[in-house]
Every structure is written in C-alpha cells, then in structure tokens.
Amino acid sequence: MNCPKCNHGTVFVLQSNTTKPNHTTRQRVCNDCKHKWFTVELEIESWAVKWEKVNPNFRFGGKPTPYVPVSIVYGDDND
C-alpha cells in the first residue's frame, strides 16, 4: 500500500480495531511525509474477486480485482 498523499511505499499500522465481526479498521502512517489515514478491511464473497496475473511467468501471485463495482456504506448499527 502506498501513501495517498505522497505515494511513498513504506507505511506502518499505528493501531487496529476489530470490534465488529469481519471488519477491521486500521490507522496508518507514511514513513516519508508522516500523513495519517484510516483503512477498512471487509470480508467479501470469493465470487466477487478475480485474480489478474501480474507476471505470466509465475504460476502464483497476481492482483485481486473486483468483478463488480464495490461501494461501502457504513452507518451506526443503531440506525
């Protein structure tokens, strides 16, 4: 993952929160410009992702690409 501000490739996780099932929120920081931001990790169905080969000479590895557009709507559970 690269920094969204300066595109530097070295970022670190400052803290993680997994209070909701199948949902992880992380605060990250860029090692270069010190920009801080949050990311969310969600579990999705395997049919929704395909793997594109990055290098045809390698049997494994690749880049995950969603089959369908993915949008995230996050609200309070009490709504």
Q: Do the Cβ atoms of 36 and 26 come closer than 8 Å?
A: no
Q: What pTM did the predictor assign? A: 0.61
> Which pLDDT value is given to residue 73?
59
DSSP state of 67: S
> Which pLDDT value is given to residue 63?
76
Q: CA-CA distance, 25 to 79, in Å (whole number)?
A: 20
User: Over the stretch 11-36, which tens digit does the pLDDT of each residue have?
Assistant: 999 999 988 777 889 999 999 999 99
Domain positions in the chain: 11-66
Q: CA-CA distance, 55 to 31, in Å (whole number)?
A: 29
Torsion, Cα 51 62 30 3, to 10 degrees, reads -60
